[in-house]
């Protein structure tokens, strides 16, 4: 009887421990379920959040302001569909151990800047159904006392025009070359910081176009500009790019100038000698947007001012949330 009683006691004790273990396991499972919900936030990077905020903001504005925008519901659906697809892809790249998926997950912002820019072109007048370049022309006259794009024509020389066109065109290779240079370093932290701050700068410029839509002087001051032949390779190349990809209303601030100054800052941070080497090119590029009559003189100044705001602000966000 005593042996039987002891066996029963041990059995009861064992069953109690087993049930307790199962109970604790169930509690942990429930706890983990609660943690799984915000897991997506841990997968998102700051650049992902910046892009999602921009696309959401444009879509929300279109819900309330869409007069004159053809097929405006498709823009809203397209933006939210892209956000859903982006989130799915981020989760997929996080689960799969694939170099290709990881590469595009790390570099996708460079592939969508053009599409975001073109979307702004199609909805640019949703808030103000008129252009605001008269203010920019007035500011040029107040600051410089002249129309800079008209005044600069006295310096037109074929070789100088080609130099300006080359520096303007270099914008399109500075992004990928600088990005890949930073990406293929052993420590990618500088690359991810670069992508985030560049994205914040460009998205800020793009979003401001909805509030400060203004056409460039090549459209508004064309009657004051001399007719000129497009001289050499880069001058003709830039003209073809502008004919195909430029948009009316994206004059102020100059995203062209803002972006290359972010690039320059990171080249200095990466290799000081590299930044010093490319500094003359960036300075010429900053002037070229006026020389080639694509921007008022206040536009590149505003582009640099945008960088002075977005760069430190993005740095604060990096320190706070990365």
Question: pLDDT tens digits for 99-154?
Answer: 999 999 999 999 999 899 999 989 999 999 889 999 999 999 999 999 999 999 99
pLDDT band at 246 (very low <50, low <70, confident <90, very high): confident
In the predicted structure, residue 37 carries a pLDDT above the cut 50: no
Task: Give the Cα separation of 245 and 169 in Å (integer).
Answer: 13
In the predicted structure, residue 231 carries a pLDDT above the cut 90: no
> What are 259's two structure tokens?
């972006």
Q: Which of 245, 279, 246, 247 is nearest to 260 (CA)?
A: 279
Question: What is the per-residue pLDDT for 245?
Answer: 76
- How do the domains of the chain map onto residue ranges? 35-321
**Number of C-beta neighbours around residue 101 at 10 A:** 16
> What are 44's two structure tokens?
């998102």
In the predicted structure, residue 13 carries a pLDDT above the cut 70: no
**Number of C-beta neighbours around residue 215 at 10 A:** 18
93: helix, coil or strand? helix
Unique residue bearing structure tokens 């960088």: 307
C-alpha dihedral sign at 155, 159, 160, 164: positive
Task: Give the Cα separation of 34 and 122 in Å (integer).
Answer: 42
> What are 38's two structure tokens?
């915000």
The answer for residues whose C-beta is within 8 angstroms of residue 269's C-beta and 6 or more apart is: 190, 275
pLDDT band at 40 (very low <50, low <70, confident <90, very high): low
Question: What is the per-residue pLDDT for 63?
Answer: 96
Task: Give the Cα separation of 148 and 128 in Å (integer).
Answer: 27
In the predicted structure, residue 35 carries a pLDDT above the cut 90: no
Q: Helix axis angle, 99-123 relative to 46-64, nearest 10°? A: 30
Question: What is the per-residue pLDDT for 14?
Answer: 40
Evaluate whether 300 touches 289 at the Cβ level (below 8 Å): yes
In the predicted structure, residue 226 carries a pLDDT above the cut 90: no
What average pLDDT does the structure give for the chain? Answer: 87
Task: Give the Cα separation of 251 and 209 in Å (integer).
Answer: 8
> What are 94's two structure tokens?
């996080």
């Amino acid at each position: 009887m005593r042996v039987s009683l002891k066996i029963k006691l041990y059995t009861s004790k064992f069953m109690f421990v087993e049930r307790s273990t199962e109970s604790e396991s169930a509690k942990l499972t429930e706890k983990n379920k609660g943690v799984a919900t915000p897991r997506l936030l841990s997968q998102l990077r700051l650049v992902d959040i910046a892009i999602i905020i921009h696309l959401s903001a444009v879509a929300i504005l279109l819900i309330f302001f869409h007069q004159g925008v053809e097929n405006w519901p498709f823009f809203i659906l397209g933006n939210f569909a892209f956000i859903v697809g982006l989130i799915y892809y981020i989760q997929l790249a996080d689960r799969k151990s694939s170099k290709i998926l990881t590469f595009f997950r790390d570099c996708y912002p460079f592939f969508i800047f053009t599409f975001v820019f073109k979307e702004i072109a199609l909805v640019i007048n949703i808030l103000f159904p008129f252009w605001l370049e008269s203010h920019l022309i007035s500011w040029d006259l107040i600051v410089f006392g002249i129309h800079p794009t008209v005044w600069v024509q006295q310096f037109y020389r074929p070789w100088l025009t080609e130099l300006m066109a080359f520096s303007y065109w270099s914008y399109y290779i500075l992004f990928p070359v600088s990005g890949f240079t930073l990406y293929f370093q052993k420590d990618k932290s500088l690359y991810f910081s670069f992508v985030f701050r560049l994205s914040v700068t460009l998205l800020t410029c793009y979003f401001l176009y909805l509030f400060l839509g203004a056409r460039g002087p090549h459209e508004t001051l064309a009657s004051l500009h001399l007719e000129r032949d497009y001289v050499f390779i880069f001058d003709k190349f830039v003209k073809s790019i502008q004919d195909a990809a430029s948009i009316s209303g994206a004059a102020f601030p100059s995203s062209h100038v803002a972006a290359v100054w972010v690039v320059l800052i990171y080249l200095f941070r990466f290799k000081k000698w590299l930044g010093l080497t490319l500094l003359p090119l960036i300075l010429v590029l900053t002037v070229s947007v006026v020389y080639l009559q694509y921007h008022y003189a206040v536009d590149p100044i505003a582009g640099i001012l945008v960088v002075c705001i977005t760069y430190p602000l993005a740095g604060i966000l990096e320190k706070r949330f990365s």
